[in-house]
Structure 1
Amino acid sequence: MELVRADLISRARAGDGEAFRALTEPHRRELHVHCYRMLGSFQDAEDALQETLLDAWRGLGGFDGRASIRTWLYRIATNRCFSTLRSAARRPAKAWDIPGIEPPEPTRLGEIAWLEPFPDALLEGAQPGPLGPEARYERTESVSLAFVTALQALPPRQLAVLILRDVLGFPANEVAAMLDTTVESVKSALKRARTGLRRSRPALTAPEPPPAAGSPAENTLVAHFVRAWETADIDALVALLTDDVFVSMPPLPFEYEGRDVVVRFCAGMFGAGRRFDLVPARANGQPAFGVYLRGSNGVRHGTGLFVLTLAGDRISAMTRFENSVLPWFGLPRSLPSR
């Protein structure tokens, strides 16, 4: 294996693109997810991944072999994400833009306007090997919307340390080498990051775990939600929500917490005569749906993507994204009349 890798490195340094792809392709998807955790934006993560691979291609002559190719690529990707975070060129919050509907007063205004969903189809193969022994989070939890949102509240250095140590399980000495710092600095940053994560999202740990993906319990809950939403049945929807259900709509800053206000929000949507069809998808390891508004001519126009967070046999959060994300999930912008 080492001889094969040495041969690939030698050929790649000589300008062999196929050899470079053979070195980097096994790590491409996990690097994409790493950039997504760092940045919270699917689009920014794609850009950072491409720039990481370009930096790696240009810098392969400086690879000394003391670390693995994987660790070296993570170093480059993390520093590329730092550059993105420093640029502060993130999506700004938007004003309310749903015509004919007056929203209820939000519980608060969210600050993570750039949050975007990550398609489950791209999570396959994103973690080819076992996590390091010091990893603290399950793979599904570490890509959940609640976790990724909470990460965005951390300062960049703490953010990187927490992901590299607690999510990926890299040893402290490897993380220190990646970040050009000391082991003691890594330990200190990790301690502060863990405290910050708990403070920013104290409800990260749901009172009840979600049902397993694709299980009968998940399928039943999802089917009840689809039926309630498509028939505008508020009573049926209420029965599915936890008392502290949370609704957010990035890049709109409006956030609603609590069943009463969430139901008022949904009732306003339905009361305006809007009716929808839902097309299933999956995002961030969670059930998701393309949302299509039924038009007067029968054509159904995509208005966005819902991602559900489940807790036991209830829905604890609903996140709505704009219709620009639909193509990432293989969903059309509109559906023909039925």
Structure 2
Amino acid sequence: MSDARDEQGTWLQSAFSEHRRELHVHCYRLAGNVADADDLVQETFLRAWRARSRFEGRASARTWLYRIATNVFLDSRRSAGRRTVPSGDPLEWSTDLGPYPDALLADGPQAGLAARETVELALIAALMHLPARQRAAFVLRDVHGWTPQEVAGTLDVAVTAANSLLQRARHTLRGRVPSDPHDWRRPQLTGEDEDVLRRYAAARTPEDFRALLAEEVRITMPPEPPVVGIDAAADFLGRPLDWRTFPTSANGRPALVNYLRHPGGTHYEALVVDVLRVEAGKVVESNAFVGARHVLAFGMPARLGPQERPPGSRG
């Protein structure tokens, strides 16, 4: 019996290691931020470990782990109590959303598969319009391509109920996401993106920022209201604050990790990650995700000394 449990444990650890990266992307897609995805993946392994002797091999290990991860997410939403489904653009008000560092997709045996997984920020934001069970049904069916029977089995409902959840999700998302699923995929960073990011990271004054912004630029930073228009955005970005910024990328878009030193402070504190959308050489949108947890998701420390550089940082 002990040998059998040891074999099951070894098999599970191998399967989990193989699929961990894509499971993390799946959990991010459901939860909308990296910190929650980390917790969901950890709980997925714990549940799989406890249930390892009951795995019968009727489905693949990957499918089995995805089912567990999906139900971990649903249970987490039930335990959190009833949540209000948002109206308007979640990027303007939802504090649940967060960026996904491209570096998390960059290496390892599953890097190619994970990099193709959907982490486009606009789609992640759109999914916040859906209640948890509809979100799970949509992701499993329309993103992963699972059959209605597989979706129903994961959600423990009849196929007709699973199809009903899916149809309601599609109705809610109509007009909020591109109709072609190929357009849901993570965009590719371009040379133009990199050039604008470098100049944006070096900008300090309103005049510096004005040269980089589109006329109708929009800055979102929940829970604060958005800043709209080049004049307001340039003044907002060019405030005389003591920032340290580090270029990176997230969700296939140029991004900055930002630290702020308050007057009289001795250290810079992790504060915000900005994810930019660039069109025709101008920043048309900046989505600011406020909170140290977003910075930590990039493998960066919570505090920096005046001359300290985080390992692996750019710029």
1:123 aligns with one of 98, 102, 105: 105
1:197 aligns with one of 162, 173, 176: 173
Tell me which amino acid in the other structure corresponds to 2:22. E
Distance between the aligned counterparts of 1:223 and 1:242, measured in 2?
17
Equivalence for 1:148: 124
Task: Say whether residues 1:85 and 2:55 are aligned partners.
Answer: no
Distance between the aligned counterparts of 2:90 and 2:63, measured in 1?
40
2:33 aligns with one of 30, 37, 41: 41
User: How far off is 1:113 after superposition?
Assistant: 1.5
Task: Say whether residues 1:249 and 2:216 are aligned partners.
Answer: no
Change (3 A) 1:62 1:324: closer
Contact 1:212 1:218 in 2 (8 A): no
Distance between the aligned counterparts of 1:336 and 1:191, measured in 2?
53
Equivalence for 2:292: 323
Task: Say whether residues 1:221 and 2:192 are aligned partners.
Answer: no
User: How far off is 1:55 after superposition?
Assistant: 0.9
Q: Residues 1-338 of structure 1: matches in 2 within 5 Å?
A: 13-14=5-6, 17-88=9-80, 110-124=92-106, 139=116, 142-199=118-175, 212-213=188-189, 215-228=190-203, 231-232=204-205, 234-250=206-222, 253-256=223-226, 258-260=228-230, 263-268=231-236, 270-271=238-239, 273-293=240-260, 300-320=268-288, 321-332=290-301, 333-337=303-307
Q: Deviations over 1:287-308 (max 9, x none)?
A: 2212233667886444322222
User: How far off is 1:195 after superposition?
Assistant: 2.5
Distance between the aligned counterparts of 2:45 and 2:197, measured in 1?
39
Contact 1:280 1:290 in 2 (8 A): yes
Distance between the aligned counterparts of 2:23 and 2:157, measured in 1?
22
Distance between the aligned counterparts of 1:334 and 1:270, measured in 2?
22
Change (3 A) 1:44 1:166: same
Equivalence for 2:312: none
Q: Structure 1 stretches of 5 or more lacking a match?
A: 1-9, 92-106, 132-137
Distance between the aligned counterparts of 1:226 and 1:32, measured in 2?
29
Please, what TM-score do these two structures have when normalized by structure 2? 0.78
Distance between the aligned counterparts of 2:69 and 2:292, measured in 1?
29
Tell me which amino acid in the other structure corresponds to 1:313. G
Distance between the aligned counterparts of 1:254 and 1:143, measured in 2?
24
Change (3 A) 1:335 1:286: farther
Tell me which amino acid in the other structure corresponds to 2:212. L
User: How far off is 1:22 after superposition?
Assistant: 1.0
Contact 1:301 1:334 in 2 (8 A): yes
1:255 aligned counterpart, secondary structure = strand
Q: Structure 2 stretches of 5 or more lacking a match?
A: 84-88, 309-315
Distance between the aligned counterparts of 1:64 and 1:258, measured in 2?
55
Tell me which amino acid in the other structure corresponds to 1:115. L
Tell me which amino acid in the other structure corresponds to 2:195. T
Q: Deviations over 1:30-76 (max 9, x none)?
A: 11111111111322211111111111111122222221111111111
Q: Deviations over 1:151-201 (max 9, x none)?
A: 111011210111112222223332222222344433333232122123556
Distance between the aligned counterparts of 2:266 and 2:35, measured in 1?
32
Q: Deviations over 1:114-168 (max 9, x none)?
A: 222222222245966769xxxxxx946x212222121111011210111112222
Change (3 A) 1:113 1:197: same
User: How far off is 1:312 after superposition?
Assistant: 4.4
Alignment length, in residue pairs? 297
User: How far off is 1:28 after superposition?
Assistant: 1.0
Contact 1:162 1:190 in 2 (8 A): yes
Q: Deviations over 1:63-101 (max 9, x none)?
A: 22221111111111111100111122799xxxxxxxxxx
Tell me which amino acid in the other structure corresponds to 1:247. I
Distance between the aligned counterparts of 2:169 and 2:131, measured in 1?
8
Contact 1:108 1:254 in 2 (8 A): no
Q: Deviations over 1:238-285 (max 9, x none)?
A: 3433444332224xx12316324xx425514534x2143321122222
